[in-house]
Amino acid sequence: MVASGSRDAKPGMKNYDFVVVGAGISGASAAFYLADLGTVLLLETEAVPGYHSTGRSAALFTPNFGPPVVRKLNVAGHDFFVSPPDGFSDRPLLTPRQSLTIARPGEEENLAAVLASSTAQHPIFEITPEEACRLTPIVRRDVIAAAALEPGVTDMDVAAIHQGFLGGFRKKGGVIHISAHVSGLYRESQGWRVEAGGETFHAGFIINAAGAWGDHVAGLAGIAPIGLVAKRRTMIGIETSLPLAETPLVEFAGEEAYFKPDTGRILASPGDETPVPPQDVQPEEWDIAVAADWLQRHTTLDVRRVANSWAGLRTFVSDHAPVVGEEPGHPGFFWLVGQGGYGIMHSPTLGRATAALIETGDLPPDLLVIGLGVDDLGPARLRRAPAQP
């Protein structure tokens, strides 16, 4: 153990080695791994863990997606999802989906960037327009000029992953308080005093896994923001009786919009990225209409009725890589934020990285081997002054 939360505690104050703020997938995974190192309290504002971004994702494992650091983290999580720890879940965490990227006539060159991101472990290869049509019968033939298939894209069972972390955490003796909004964080001579839900706790370490609210939580501790920007993304559902369950995710090269089948539905996103203040975000009529129109123009579906819609926040820092590490000059304040559109995929890896960084000061060996370093993830990279031209 690195530190004990007990030394400054007043009689009657509850002590923990680690207090994790936020019980979305990030906080749940960190709590799961930290429970091997000491006592852990997980605090969540909402009555239901996973109410914000974690419960609103597209549930896709997409290895070849995002900037280079993100791609390394995507791939690093794969083994966990395929072979989770014993007793983690009684359901498979991944199920096959595949991803089909289509280039419209005149846009064939856009496919080159997609094909260039292929790797030996998770290949992407070109297929003919006819093969693409067979794989996804609802896409209009006239919009397919060229296509690429990525077989390694899968669906994730987000609820099973989240519950696996929370259940495993509890089995290790972890404590969770829901409806416990963290409203005060005070540095003491040893560790931190935490005010949440009308109670006071003492902790050796604070793990800030507050998602879009990460900069706000840092502010409670007197720490400067790292520049988190929450971006709204919209999803719509269209009912269909067509047998599409086995068909791939479909996107178009060079744009962010996509659709994928779900039980009895097609889920589509216009790929919107509208910066908004942290909030219980709701879909805007305009974005719903844009998604429906996009689906209407590219498929043979009847998109007259949108069955359901939702929006969620994808929260980024400037380089779009997550922020995992201790704040320089603020011992015991640990960031676990900025997971953007990748936080479900990254959850086992970043939870494990959090525990390793706290225990050893370094990333787990398997992450070092794939070329990731403390500096790639830590907050120090965001604190440096930009180089002068």
Q: Which residues bind ligand FAD (CB under 6 A)?
A: 21-27, 43-46, 51-54, 56-60, 181-182, 209-213, 217, 233, 235, 312-314, 339-345
Token couple for 113:
């960037």
Pick 320 or 381: Cβ nearer ligand FAD: 320
User: At its nearest, how many Å lie between ligand FAD and the CB of residue 157?
Assistant: 12
CA angle 333, 339, 342 (to 5 degrees): 155
User: At its nearest, how many Å lie between ligand FAD and the CB of residue 134?
Assistant: 25
Pick 52 or 122: Cβ nearer ligand FAD: 52
User: At its nearest, how many Å lie between ligand FAD and the CB of residue 389?
Assistant: 34
User: At its nearest, how many Å lie between ligand FAD and the CB of residue 338?
Assistant: 8
> Residue 147 and residue 125: Cα distance in Å, rounded?
9
User: At its nearest, how many Å lie between ligand FAD and the CB of residue 11?
Assistant: 25
Which amino acid is it at 373?
A: G
Q: Collapsing DSSP states into helix, strand and coil, what is residue 140? A: coil
Residue in the structure block whose two tokens are 């000491």: 38
**373 in the Ramachandran plot: left (φ > 0), alpha (ψ -120 to 50) or beta?**
beta
Token couple for 386:
């930009």
For residues 336 and 209, the answer to whether their CB atoms sit within 8 Å is yes
> Residue 35 and residue 309: Cα distance in Å, rounded?
37
Token couple for 233:
């993304």
User: At its nearest, how many Å lie between ligand FAD and the CB of residue 193?
Assistant: 15
Pick 4 or 163: Cβ nearer ligand FAD: 163
Residue in the structure block whose two tokens are 């896994």: 209
> Residue 31 and residue 292: Cα distance in Å, rounded?
39
Pick 124 or 228: Cβ nearer ligand FAD: 228
User: Which ranges of the chain would DSSP assign to H, the alpha helix?
Assistant: 25-34, 68-76, 78-82, 111-116, 129-135, 158-171, 214-220, 285-298, 343-360, 365-369, 374-377, 380-383
For residues 192 and 14, the answer to whether their CB atoms sit within 8 Å is no
Pick 21 or 221: Cβ nearer ligand FAD: 21
Pick 53 or 144: Cβ nearer ligand FAD: 53
User: At its nearest, how many Å lie between ligand FAD and the CB of residue 105?
Assistant: 29
Residue in the structure block whose two tokens are 């998602």: 211
For residues 289 and 260, the answer to whether their CB atoms sit within 8 Å is no
Pick 138 or 291: Cβ nearer ligand FAD: 291
User: At its nearest, how many Å lie between ligand FAD and the CB of residue 235?
Assistant: 5
Pick 15 or 315: Cβ nearer ligand FAD: 315
Which amino acid is it at 344?
A: I
